[in-house]
Amino acid sequence: MGLVLFELRAAGGRAFSPYCWRARMALAHKELTPELRPARFTDIPRIGHGAKSLPVLLDGPIAILDSWDIALYLEERYPQAPSLFGGAAGRQFARFVHHWATTQLHPPIVRIGVADIWERLDAADQPYFRETREQRLGAPLESFRAQQPALLAQLGAALAPMRAMLVERPFLGGDQPSYADYVVFGAFQWSRVICPVPLLAADDAVQQWFERCLDLHGGLGRRAPAGG
Amino acid sequence: MGLVLFELRAAGGRAFSPYCWRARMALAHKELTPELRPARFTDIPRIGHGAKSLPVLLDGPIAILDSWDIALYLEERYPQAPSLFGGAAGRQFARFVHHWATTQLHPPIVRIGVADIWERLDAADQPYFRETREQRLGAPLESFRAQQPALLAQLGAALAPMRAMLVERPFLGGDQPSYADYVVFGAFQWSRVICPVPLLAADDAVQQWFERCLDLHGGLGRRAPAGG
Contact A96 B95 (CB under 8 A): no
Predicted local confidence at residue A1, as pLDDT = 58
Indicate if the pLDDT at residue A104 is higher than 70.
yes
Contact A92 B173 (CB under 8 A): yes
CB-based contact, B180 to chain A, within 8 Å: yes
Cβ atoms of B98 and B106 closer than 8 Å: no
> Where does the pLDDT of residue A83 fall: very low under 50, low under 70, confident under 90, or very high at 90 and above?
very high
Secondary element (H or E) of residue B158: helix B148-158
Say yes or no: ipTM exceeds 0.95. Answer: yes
Indicate if the pLDDT at residue A46 is higher than 80.
yes
CB-based contact, A205 to chain B, within 8 Å: no
Q: For the segment A106-156, what is each residue's pLDDT rounded down to a tens digit? A: 999 999 999 999 999 999 999 999 999 999 999 999 999 999 999 999 999
Predicted local confidence at residue A219, as pLDDT = 98
Omega into A55 within 30° of 0, i.e. cis? yes
| B187, amino acid identity | A
| Minimum distance, in Å, between the CA of residue A98 and any CA atom of chain B | 8
Average pLDDT, chain B: 97
Contact A93 B89 (CB under 8 A): yes
Handedness of CA A69, A72, A74, A77 (dihedral sign): negative
Predicted local confidence at residue A227, as pLDDT = 83
Which residue ranges form the domains of chain B, and what is each CATH number? 3-77 (3.40.30.10), 88-219 (1.20.1050.10)
| Minimum distance, in Å, between the CA of residue B167 and any CA atom of chain A | 11
| A174 phi/psi in degrees, rounded to 5 | 115, -125
Q: For the segment B107-155, what is each residue's pLDDT rounded down to a tens digit? A: 999 999 999 999 999 999 999 999 999 999 999 999 999 999 999 999 9
Handedness of CA B140, B142, B146, B152 (dihedral sign): positive
Predicted local confidence at residue B1, as pLDDT = 58
